[in-house]
Structure 1
């Protein structure tokens, strides 16, 4: 400091005087070597000064330097050098060396952060551990404001503002600093060519952005992301997806990005509408669709049928194509009313009912096929309160298989099968399931195809005469636009639901589930299986496949297998019994010694059996596929005479009871009482049965009582009662006979006693009808042991009666000898017979005859 002061002092002589003389050497020195003010900032020049002020201007008068002017210059240079060295030394020793980056030195102990940076202590700090970090002017909290539609972007040591995405400055610049410079406005990416939307989409500008949206009638491709720039679209088929707004009287036709509504074939737009528009509404011309003519067949007399066809004529007269759906519903309700179980349909002859069923099903199919074309909807289902169900499908031409169904039935077929050959109008498919058709189709026969007959014949080793049928499912009327369905190009598969029934037995038995269809002809109708096969049954549903269409149903068929051996035994036994019964009748009428109440019972028993067996042998088999008057008459006569035979069997038991149990306690019934019981009781039973259900006499296979609705019990009930009563009499009789044999002759040999008792007991089995017990236990027709036993015993009942009442009776044998003597002219034989007869009467007074028992 002394050196600097000295030089300064020396240089003071060169400073201008206060009088304002020219500048001295000090004027040429740089101003930064001058001592800085105490504040640390450079001093500003005073007004009027031409140079830096001389710090020593107030010093004493200048002293002249040594050596003159040249020495003065050297001295000044040396001083300047010294001053510079001293200033550098002062600078080095007065500033802190530890100031961090982004800062400047203030003095030896403090530093200052550069603009845009700050330390924990602020702008100025004195701790060597602190650092200058960037100040985030954008916040939070923000220290600056960029204005609306703009975003603040921080930079190192500073910041700038940018318009938000989708916006840009009006000037075209990209950044700005002050809010006052904000001129951000929306950018239309769709018109500026900046959007990368796929050509299948539509660009939609939004405020601050854009969107790639599918056009109306288009949708994003499956798997395509739904975003503003990568969405890819495809056409929407509004017709198949059901998203169209076409009126139900039109057909939807898909177009690229849209659709059209076209009138169905045969329909036309309503007034005020045009075809192939989105709002097209159509109507069917009245001249195109009309209610078909449907009249009852001639010769049918039924109040229910008459009322039904009157209702049909009313519907036809008031038919309006726009109300076809309501017309169909009313038709089904009228049909249900006609088919209710109570009515006069059951009183019709089976041939008339089956002919009516054929006419009814064909007419119903035609009417429904026609009216379905007037229904504007593509599908229609109606289910009546009585469970009659109709399903319709009305569509334009399609390819491949189509399935339709409902509760009772389902159908799978090829679309080409359903299409009408002329291809005019929409294609109609329909299934009508009727639960109450049993009233019209009862007692219908089954026509088996030859292959099926041969198969059953090989299984049972006997021909099949027919089958007893049980209707398990609804009758399903199937109809298409194509009316030529007798032979289809491809088969149709059905699945029919039916009632629960015991599972069909294994192949080789008489019972099985079959798929059958109703086959009508001009005068009648019957079930058939030709062209249909049963594929399987599961969960009360049977699957069938047919190569034609008709009215189908699931039937339980119980085949009537004709056992030729059993048939031969029956015929031979009946012929032999008829001869024996005829001899019995002649014997009881002509042999006077045996006349009495018991003979009267024997006589009328043989008469009933003879007449009944004759009718059975001649007319039991029904001829044809219908039950006619002849068959009903045969069934009624068989019912009466066989019941009469059992009534006389009961009187046999009653007479036997009086003879054995109540002997010597009074006589039995008189002849007129016996006839009243023997012929009156069966007459009452047959009269009541005929009055209750006259159609119960006769069915398809035999002229006998129909098994439906328990009508067979009008015969089985009395038979069971009589057989049980006679069984009691039989046991009582055998027991009493055993006692009487012991009382009459205790010394009778046991073998003889057993022989007589056995013969008498066996004979009474046939007389009292106890052999019918085998028939009552014949529940299974396949039980050949019971079948043969029952057939042999009952077909030979006349033979047993002849043996018991004629050949084993001594009086009858003697009368036979006397007749034989008259015929041959043998007087000795006649005399011997008379003598024997007298001796017999004398012996009879002392003990009863064994044969008489």
Structure 2
């Protein structure tokens, strides 16, 4: 009898020693050499609760036939259907299903280093996605591992700030058994409602939401950027009007196709900046939940003006290609008319289709806390369900990207041509070295000014939109350059006017020089 009593006492003492306090499970598992996630998942179901409640920790038994709803934190909630509990029951005597859910700091999850072979071409690494809120949600229930559920569990991750696209993932241990792993989307579906991510997963594990972080702009920076935008657009309107007058005078004095293309691009820029200011100021007269047909019309006109600007910037690059590559023996009947059909017709068609679909209305830019709006504008309505897709396709993916790629090639061709001309021309032997260096310096400055001017004319500053996602200075650079596009066009028109006067003076002294400079295409 004493031997039996001793064995029972020893068994009870061993069990008491094995049952670690739930609050210390994570700390104990981190000390072990084997993967801590496996240790934590195994130990958390057999730990004992202390007298004090553990924050953000749920550990309770429920009936096998009931569904479970639990919220370890205000931002995280779990729904487990009864069928999922039945799948994890096994052959253990009926003591009820033990449900455990808690949150863990994401910094404890170490990613497995990626091993890549040597590559001839070095490509940039994809942007690193971060864990939403820096917290990982653990869901564990029953006695057996739960996989391939017919009715998935649902996890809700709330967020009160702007984030990029998110994806529901679970932690998949590495086969190296070194405590590292990777995030996998296998078995999980993601539903983004704007304020929360709802994950539907057919298993139980460590879950998280990976998001593309969006650069947050402070309230003071937002005010400064707004002033820069409004002042820059007002200056662009003023100087663009002057540019139009200069181009009209140049067109009357010396009719050229290039002047006509510049004239059309300036008109598109004038419409863009003027409509932007109207859309920004008109929305102030609307109530919070009011759309208004005027705002819808202004949104349509703003979209049309933006597309027209992209179209005419692309046509500037096309015209430059004809001047530099196909310079001789070119005649296009009604050339400007055909360009106008593309430059104004395509934006009109796209804007009309979007207008019929009811895309336009009031658009609200939300602050970081997603409670109050930082800015409102008449654009594509925030209430339109497919606004992001329509905006991406009609303003970024097709017109802007194609324009930037094509015109970047044209600018590279211009630089190559200028380099070839400068390399082929040199100073005479009778000239002094100082004079030669001075002339080369002046030519270099003129070439740099030409390249910078063409960059603005070809719309390449729009390509700086990519740096607005990675740094606040990038947002400032993009805002300043694109709000002052009209000013840059004015400087370009002044340069063309000065060149026209110098050409007229040189042609008066040497009539043959004007004939050499003018190609059959320009005529």
712, 721, 736: which one aligns with 2:402: 721
Select which of 561, 565, 568 maps to 2:227: 568
After superposition, the Cα gap between the structure-2 partners of 1:596 and 1:625, relative to the gap in structure 1 and judged at 3 Å, is same
Q: Paired residue for 1:759? A: 449
**For 1:541 and 1:606, how far apart are their aligned partners in 2?**
50
Q: What is the aligned counterpart of 1:638 among 282, 296, 302?
A: 302
Mapping of 1:87-126 within 5 angstroms? Answer: none
Partner in structure 1 of residue 378 of structure 2: 703
CA distance in 2, matches of 1:578, 1:839: 36
For 2:335 and 2:223, the matched residues in 1 are separated by 45
Deviation at 1:572, TM superposition (A): 1.7
1:764 to 1:686, Cα distance in 2 relative to 1, 3 A? same
Residues 803, 410 of structure 1: alpha-carbon distance in 2 compared, 3 angstrom cutoff: same
Pair 697,409 (structure 1): closer, same or farther in 2 beyond 3 Å: farther
Residue 584 of structure 1: which of 243, 251, 260 is its match? Answer: 243
Paired residue secondary structure (1:643): helix
The correspondence of residues 340-489 of structure 1 with structure 2, limited to 5 A, is none
Corresponding residue for residue 270 of structure 2:
610
Alignment of 1:616-695 (within 5 A): 616-620=276-280, 622=283, 623=286, 624-667=288-331, 670-691=335-356, 693-695=357-359
Distance 1:541 1:729, change over 3 A: closer
Residues 220-239 of structure 1 aligned to structure 2 (within 5 Å): none
Per-residue Cα deviation, 1:26-63 (whole angstroms, up to 9, x for no partner): xxxxxxxxxxxxxxxxxxxxxxxxxxxxxxxxxxxxxx
| 840 and 730 in structure 1: CA distance in 2 versus 1, 3 angstrom threshold | farther
**1:497 and 1:558, CA in 2 relative to 1: closer, same or farther beyond 3 A?**
farther
Q: Is the 8 A contact 1:594 1:811 kept in 2?
A: no
Task: Compute the displacement of 1:571 (Å).
Answer: 1.6
* Secondary structure of 2:359's aligned partner: helix
Distance 2:407 2:359 in 1: 32
The residue that corresponds to 1:739 in the other structure is 420
> SS in structure 2 opposite 1:765?
helix
Cα distance, 1:498 vs. partner?
A: 4.6
Structure 1 residues 557 and 805, CA, compared in 2 at 3 Å: closer, same or farther?
closer
* Shift, 1:565, TM fit: 1.6
Task: Measure, in 2, the Cα distance between the counterparts of 1:631 and 1:840.
Answer: 57
Q: Distance in 2 between matches of 1:498 and 1:627?
A: 35
Q: What is residue 8 of structure 2 aligned with on the other side?
A: none
Contact 1:657 1:733 in 2 (8 A): no
Contact persistence 2:418–2:447 (CA under 8 A):
yes
Change (3 A) 1:663 1:785: same
CA distance in 2, matches of 1:511, 1:633: 30
User: 1:477 maps to what in 2?
Assistant: none
Paired position in structure 2 for 1:285 = none
Does the residue aligned with 1:678 lie in a helix, a strand or coil? helix
How far residue 714 of structure 1 moved from its aligned partner, in angstroms, is 1.2
> In structure 2, which of residues 259, 265, 268 is the aligned counterpart of residue 599 of structure 1?
259
Task: Report the CA distance shift for 1:811/1:835 in structure 2 as closer, same or farther (over 3 A).
Answer: closer
Alignment CA distance shift 1:539-1:656 (3 Å)? same
Partners of 2:240 and 2:490 within 8 A in 1: yes
Distance in 2 of aligned mates of 1:763 and 1:774: 16
**Partner residue, 1:245:** none
- Determine the C-alpha separation between the residues in 1 that align with 2:512 and 2:225: 47
Q: Distance in 2 between matches of 1:735 and 1:557?
A: 38
Query: What does residue 771 of structure 1 align with?
Result: 461
Q: Are the structure 2 counterparts of residues 840 and 713 from structure 1 closer, same or farther at C-alpha, using a change threshold of 3 Å?
A: farther
SS of alignment partner, residue 574 of structure 1? helix
Unmatched 5+ residue regions in structure 1? 1-402, 413-430, 432-495, 513-526, 529-537, 543-555, 815-833
Taking structure 1 as the reference length, the TM-score comes to 0.32
CA distance in 2, matches of 1:721, 1:609: 19
Aligned-partner SS, 1:700: strand
CA gap of 1:627–1:593, structure 2 versus 1, over 3 A, is: same
C-alpha separation in 2, matches of 1:541 and 1:409: 18
Cα deviations by residue, 1:631-667 (Å, 9 ceiling, x for unpaired)? 3222211111111111111111111112222222314
Match of 1:489 in 2: none
Alpha-carbon distance change, 561 to 540 in structure 1, aligned in 2, over 3 angstroms:
farther
Q: Are residues 809 and 687 of structure 1, via their aligned partners in 2, closer, same or farther at CA, if it must alter by over 3 Å?
A: same
Task: Report if the CA contact (8 A) 2:300-2:351 is conserved.
Answer: yes
Aligned equivalents of 1:558, 1:409: Cα separation in 2? 34
Cα offset, 1:787, TM superposition: 0.4
Matched, 1:788 2:476: yes
Offset of residue 598 of structure 1: 0.9
Q: 1:541 to 1:677 in 2, by over 3 A?
A: closer
Structure 2 CA distance, aligned partners of 1:643 and 1:408? Answer: 52
Q: How many angstroms does 1:740 deviate by?
A: 3.0
Compared with structure 1, are the counterparts of its residues 639 and 806 closer, same or farther at alpha carbon in structure 2 (3 Å cutoff)?
same
CA contact (8 A) 2:296 2:361 kept: yes
1:593-635: per-residue Cα shift (whole Å, max 9, x none)? 2432111111111111101101101213644244332332222
Q: Mark the CA change 1:809 to 1:746 in structure 2 (over 3 Å): closer, same or farther.
A: farther
The one of 463, 482, 489 equivalent to 1:801 is 489
Question: What are the residue-to-residue correspondences of 1:34-113 with 2, within 5 Å?
Answer: none
Are the counterparts in 1 of residues 240 and 487 from structure 2 also a CA contact under 8 Å?
yes
Q: How far, CA to CA, are the matches of 1:728 and 1:557 in structure 2?
A: 30
CA contact (8 A) 1:578 1:610 kept: yes
| TM-score normalised by structure 2 residue count | 0.50
Change (3 A) 1:560 1:709: farther
Aligned to 2:59: none
Q: Deviations over 1:556-577 (max 9, x none)?
A: 9998755122122112211111
Rounded to whole Å, the distance in 1 between the matches of 2:68 and 2:216 is 26
Give, in angstroms, the shift of residue 696 of structure 1. 5.6
Counterparts of 1:633 and 1:840, CA distance in 2: 55
| Counterpart contact for 1:588–1:594, Cα < 8 Å | no
The number of residues matched between the two structures is 307
Query: Residues 131-156 of structure 1: CA distance to partner in whole angstroms, max 9, x if unpaired?
Result: xxxxxxxxxxxxxxxxxxxxxxxxxx
